[in-house]
Each structure stands twice: as C-alpha cells, then as structure tokens.
Amino acid sequence: MDKKRVMHRAWAVGVSLCAGLFAGLFAVSASAGELDGNSSAVMLQGFHWRSQETKPWWNVIQSNAASIAAGGFTMVWLPPSGDAASLEGYLPRRLSVQDSAYGTEAQLKAAIAALHGQGVRVLADVVINHRVGTTGWADFTFPTWGCSAVVAGDEWTGACGGADSGDGFSAARDLDHSKTFVQTDLIAWLNWMKTTIGYDGWRYDYVKGYAGSYVGQYNAATSPYFSVGELWTDLNLANPDAHRQLIMNWLDATGGRSAAFDFTTKGLLQQAVQYNEFWRLKDSQGKPAGAMGWWPAKTVTFIDNHDTGPSYPSGGQNHWPFPSDKVMQGYAYILTHPGVPTVYWVHYYDWNQAAEINKLIQVRRAKGVTSTSAVNIVAADTSRYAAIITGNTGSVAMKIGPGAWTPGAGWTLATSGSNYAVWTQ
C-alpha cells in the first residue's frame, strides 16, 4: 500500500472518531460545512445541457424547491449563472453580470431563496479555468484584465502571462492563476456570489486546467459550505488505480479543502452493470474500487451529468452515458455507499424515477449512511455485487446484478427493482 493511501485512510479514521463530538456544532453553525467530517449530504444536479431552453430555468428551480427538499436532497448544484458567450454558460464573459440564458439575476436570487427556505444549500458552477472577451478575444470587463491574465501559449497571440499550470482549453482564453490580481478579483467575485447572490459553495469546472493549489487558496479565502472539483481524465479499465490516484493527487494539491467527483467509480460501475463485470467494483484490498475506496470523505459519486449523459426531451452531450436501462442499479450503489452521492436532474424529474430514488435516499438517511461509512463487500463476481454498509444508526445491505443474493435472516427488504435490492437491519 503506497504512502498516499495510508495517509488518506488514517485521516478518514480520525474524522470518524471525531464526528460525534462535532455533530452538534455542524447542525447549528451557519458557517459549518459538509467538507469535513461524516457528511450526510445528498446532492441534486439542478440542470442538464439543454435546461436554458426552458425559460426561465430559475423559475423551474424555484417551483421545485419543495419537492427537492422533500426528496431528501440537502444541496443543489446550479448551472453557470453569469453572462457567457455560450447558452450553457461554460464560456464565461462578464463574471459579475448574473443575467444569463437561464434567467435574470432577480430570478436567480428568488430560486436560491426558495431553496434556502426549504433548508437546501446551493452550489454555483464556477468556471475559472478560462474566459472570453466582451466583444473580442480577450477584452475582459467585469472585471477588467489585460493580456497578462492569459497564459503564454494560448491560442490568442496577444497573451503575455506566465506558463499554464494545467491542461489547455482551446475554446476560450486560459487564465493565469499565478497573477495576484487574478486571484484577488476571483476571490472578491466568489465572496460577492455568496453575500449578494446567495450561493453557499462551489462546483469547480475543468480543474485539470489549472493547479489544484489555487482551488485550495480560493476555498481558504471564501469558506464554502461545500466544494467539488471536476477532474475528468481518461480511465484505463486495466489500471483504475492510476486513475483514482490522479484524483488523490488533486485533492492533496487543494490541501484537502475540496472534494472531487468520483469519475473512477462512474466508469467502473457502468462497465460492471453493462457487461456483468461486477468484480471490477472491489479492489485488491477488498475496498470499493473507485476514489471512494481511498478517500471517501472527499469523493462525490454520480451516475451521469450534463456532459456525460442525455438531456430532455432529447439530445444533450452524451459523451459517456450510463446504460439507460440500468440507471437504478447505479443509484442503488451510490446511494447506499460512502462519498457524497449526486442525482442527475434528467433521471429524477424527466425520466420519472423520483419515487424509486426517494426510497433509496430515505434508507440512506434512516440508517445514517454517510460519506465515511464502512463497506463490507460480500460478493463481486460475474453476476452480482453485494455489500453491507454500516451507518450511524443501523446497517444497509444491497445487491445489484442479475445474480441471486440475500443478506439472510434478520433483514427487511426496504426497496427493490430490476436487478437491484436494498435491505435494512
């Protein structure tokens, strides 16, 4: 076992021992967040790739605030809400202008206020790897920056900044986060997004484009309730440990100040359910084979998102979709396992799977399954995956796949569907 994995496991054990002592503080303090400790958070991705076509989308969010809370979600991640050169918001233009294709700033604030009124926290989609000019390549306004804000080697020939600290992005100007004025303006903007717009935390887009240390710096200066980075890299199924090690490296670079999406688990899980390769879900140490197996407190699990999956009623990115007929097997896995699980809007609202997903969330909450709950994998072969998860207030047993398995006497079937079942004790 390498040194990084030993460090993360020791960190997680320490957090688990302290969780009870701090539970009351987290419950009452407005500044306390879900980034440390034994998180019970469940997140909803509050949009898909074509959401901006339903105008205004912020009114859709506002009208569903009560059902989101009733479903058991504690956080909602919204799409990029600022002025952008793309309808979807991922080519940001004027950061402090919060009128967009999703609606006006006033409508955004009303949606956030409705969620807050239901006790649900709200994450902003923060796109700070790159930016476009107001009318041209790099005539940045709100805030106003010059050529030194753009890294050397960018497609814009006028760039005069330093070296890029991550991967390039050809659709917009890559920002130089080493510049003090860039850091200062971004921190001021993020704090404004909290105090004026009402956001509670951040989902950082395309974090492979700049050093993870900057995310750590921005979080230290803005104290988000929750933060998660999108580190999407190629997964080699023959060597998933290398893939999840990249996630560990990024988490370390942030100083442990952010969580990361568990792309390793997504890739292994959809391969497992599609081809009956459930053995992929158990690593050589007997742990879950995704990032959650190494640092569960800092991993955010998911089935699909606006990039990987479909939109509604059709189209979308669909770059890496989860098998559509096996989505509930996926949710039976992530909603019973450690990490912070995320549900995709299309699956929940547009595919009418809310009732089934709600049952899984209810089991998770009733038995106190958290981001650091222990997992005992009891079967992982060519027909099934089965595990027993120990929550704070009880245990959960689950099985996915066509193969037969039950936990035995003393268990009650809580919910089931096509090739999945969940029991409680």
pLDDT single digits (tens) 50-86: 999 999 999 999 999 999 999 999 999 999 999 999 9
What is the rounded CA–CA span in Å between residue 198 and residue 334? Answer: 29
pLDDT for position 151? 98
Say what the alpha-carbon torsion angle 178, 182, 184, 187 is, to the nearest 10 degrees: -100
Q: State the average pLDDT for the chain.
A: 93
Average pLDDT over residues 135-161: 97
| Rounded Cα distance, 7 and 266, in Å | 24
List the Cα angle 69/74/76 in 5-degree steps. Answer: 90
Helices (H), 130-227: 180-192, 212-222
Q: How would residue 36 be classed by pLDDT, with cut points 50, 70 and 90?
A: confident
At 4, is the pLDDT very low, low, confident or very high (cuts 50, 70, 90)? very low
Residue 37: predicted pLDDT: 75
d(Cα 344, Cα 309) in Å, to the nearest integer?
9
* pLDDT surpassing 70 at residue 20: no
CB neighbour list of residue 74: distance below 8 Å, 6 or more residues apart = 34, 40, 41, 42, 43, 119, 120, 121
Query: Which SS3 state, helix, strand or coil, does residue 231 take?
Result: coil
Encode pLDDT of 283-296 as tens digits.
Answer: 999 999 999 999 99
Cβ atoms of 77 and 342 within 8 Å: the answer is: yes
At 217, the pLDDT band (50, 70, 90 cuts) reads very high
Q: Is the pLDDT of residue 356 over 50?
A: yes
3-class secondary structure, 116: helix
Q: What is the mean pLDDT of residues 2-16?
A: 37
pLDDT of 221 strictly over 90:
yes
- For residue 24, what pLDDT is reported? 31
Q: How confident is the model at residue 110 (pLDDT cuts 50, 70, 90)?
A: very high
**What pLDDT does 21 receive?**
28
Report the share of the chain in percent with pLDDT over 90.
91
Its pTM stands at 0.93
What pLDDT, on a 0 to 100 scale, did the predictor assign at position 408? Answer: 97
Could you check whether the bond before residue 56 is cis, i.e. omega within 30 degrees of 0? yes
Tokens describing residue 206: 């395309």
Q: What domains, with CATH codes, occur in the chain?
A: 3-373 (3.20.20.80)
Residue 299 pLDDT greater than 80, yes or no: yes
Bridge partners of 387, per DSSP, are 377, 398
The rounded percent of the chain whose pLDDT value lies above 70 is 92
User: Using an 8 Å Cβ cutoff, are 424 and 363 in contact?
Assistant: yes
Confidence of residue 35 (pLDDT cuts 50, 70, 90): confident
User: What sign results for the dihedral spanned by CA atoms 74, 288, 302, 84?
Assistant: positive
Can you tell me the distance from the alpha carbon of 117 to that of 69, in angstroms, rounded to the nearest whole number? 10
Q: Which residues are catalytic?
A: 205, 230
pLDDT beyond 60 at 404: yes
Dist. CA 103–CA 54, nearest whole Å: 10
- Higher-confidence residue of 359 and 26: namely 359
Question: Can you read off the two tokens belonging to residue 65?
Answer: 């605030």
Question: What confidence tier does 13 reach under pLDDT thresholds 50, 70, 90?
Answer: very low
Q: How would residue 28 be classed by pLDDT, with cut points 50, 70 and 90?
A: very low
d(CA 173, CA 156): 7
Supply the pLDDT for residue 27. 32
> What per-residue confidence (pLDDT) applies to 329?
98
Structure tokens at 155: 């497609």
Could you give the count of Cα atoms lying within 13 Å of 239 in the half-sphere of its Cβ? 5
The continuous run of DSSP H or E covering 273 comes out as helix 263-275
